[in-house]
Amino acid sequence: MTKNEINIAIHQSLGWKRLASGQWCRDIHEGVAWELPDYHGSLDAIVPVVRSMPFLERLSVLARLEAIADSSEDALLATPAQWCEAYLRAKGLLP
């Protein structure tokens, strides 16, 4: 997946839908967004997504992150791209 496809997949997993205008909308009461957060390029974007997950889902992400990073020590220094991969795998959006 490209960086953009990853960002879109994460955004959609959070309930956002793309409108014909190109804007993103999750709830008519929340308004719309023109730009996606850069989950793939920013820990400040992806970590809060994982933190907001229920406990067991967070554990699933962390287990996958550890596997991707090859160790729990390396997982402490994981890149945003690795966090995204772990999140998408935990959600079943990547094989």
Q: Which tens digits make up the pLDDT trace of 22-32? A: 888 887 667 77
The answer to whether residue 78 sits within a structural domain is yes
Which domain, by its residues, includes 35? 3-90
CA distances from 43 to 22, 27, 79 (A): 25, 25, 7
Residue 20 lies in a domain: yes
Count: domains in the chain? 1
Let me know if residue 95 belongs to a domain: no
Q: What share of the chain is helix, strand, coil (3-state, %, to 5)?
A: 55, 5, 40
The yes-or-no verdict on residue 76 having pLDDT over 80 is yes
The reply to whether the predicted model has a pTM over 0.85 is: yes
